[in-house]
């Protein structure tokens, strides 16, 4: 039997997470972005996650299953690149360049993180910052408009055909005689 989870809960979990109506679900960032997911709770129970679209699960969030079980989300440790530099302006430059590439970023006062990528690591090192690959929970910024940053266009809701018609000609003949 699969336990179904449809909603977030405002409830708090008791200290004893092993109680009958409480459980944990450890997920990496990639899966915490999904609103529909088959997964297994840390106690071995199979679940079907069916949350409203557009949300992002964070470590510490609590969900309520159809049987009343409260499920605490735990952000799994995953391979991330941790960027450090003593100069906040240098870290801001790295954020700018990574943001231009639409890279999800976790930004703190002293460092920033992104999902490990050796090409991005080389770019950031080339900017003069320090990069270290570590295993840590990844909690990137949710984006300027609240929810997660979604790039999937599989639902057909976004057309990338940006062809423009013009009723005039563009003359590109140039005289290069000097």
Using one digit for the tens of pLDDT, what is the confidence trace for 6-61?
888 865 655 545 567 889 999 999 999 999 999 999 999 999 999 998 888 999 99
**Tell me, what's the pLDDT at 118?**
97
Whole-prediction pTM = 0.73
Q: Is the pLDDT reported for residue 150 higher than 50?
A: no
Largest CA distance in the chain: 86
pLDDT of residue 21: 81
**CA separation for the pair 165, 161 (Å, rounded):** 12
- Retrieve residue 123's tokens: 């770019």
């Amino acid at each position: 039997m699969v336990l179904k989870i449809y909603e977030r809960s405002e409830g708090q979990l008791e200290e004893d997470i092993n109680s009958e109506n409480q459980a944990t679900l450890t997920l990496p960032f990639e899966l915490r972005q999904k609103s529909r997911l088959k997964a297994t709770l840390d106690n071995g129970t199979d679940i079907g996650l069916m949350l409203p679209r557009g949300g992002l699960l964070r470590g510490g969030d609590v969900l309520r299953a159809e049987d009343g079980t409260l499920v605490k989300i735990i952000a799994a440790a995953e391979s991330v690149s941790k960027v450090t530099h003593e100069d906040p302006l240098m870290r801001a430059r790295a954020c700018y360049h990574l943001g231009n590439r639409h890279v999800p970023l976790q930004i703190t006062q002293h460092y920033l993180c992104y999902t490990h990528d050796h090409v991005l690591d080389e770019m950031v090192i080339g900017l003069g910052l320090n990069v270290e690959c570590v295993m840590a929970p990844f909690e990137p910024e949710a984006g300027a408009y609240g929810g997660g940053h979604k790039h999937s266009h599989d639902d057909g809701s976004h057309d990338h055909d940006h062809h423009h018609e013009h009723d005039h000609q563009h003359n590109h003949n140039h005289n290069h005689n000097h």
